């Protein structure tokens, strides 16, 4: 299950683990801002929120990687004439 919320400065997607496997993982909150994307999850051992911040370039690379086979890649970002 997941939710999508549009806030003033971000789009927030929350992924809720409802899988059959145990143990279930905590909710993952993904916030998309103009210049970056953050991924947050609460650590069940410390009850602290762990955050990863990705640049928009890293997000573009991740999106491309989801559709490619195993290997090493570099995306050509040169402006097209």
pLDDT in tens, 67-76: 888 888 888 8
Q: What is the pLDDT of residues 1-16, one digit of tens each?
A: 889 899 999 999 998 8
What whole-number distance in Å separates Cα of residue 49 and Cα of residue 31?
14
Q: How many CB atoms lie within 10 A of CB 30?
A: 19
Largest CA distance in the chain: 52
Residue 65: band (very low, low, confident or very high) from pLDDT cuts 50, 70, 90: confident
Between CA 68 and CA 74 the distance in angstroms is 12
Q: What is the enclosing helix (H) or strand (E) of 14?
A: strand 11-15
pTM above 0.85, yes or no: no
What average pLDDT does the segment 38-49 reach? Answer: 93
């Amino acid at each position: 299950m997941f939710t999508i919320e549009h806030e003033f400065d971000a789009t927030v997607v929350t992924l809720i683990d409802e899988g059959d496997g145990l143990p279930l993982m905590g909710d993952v909150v993904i916030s998309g801002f103009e210049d970056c994307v953050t991924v947050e999850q609460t650590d069940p051992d410390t009850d602290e929120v762990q955050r990863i911040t990705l640049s928009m370039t890293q997000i573009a690379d991740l999106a491309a990687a989801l559709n490619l086979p195993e290997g090493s890649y570099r995306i050509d970002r040169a402006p097209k004439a």
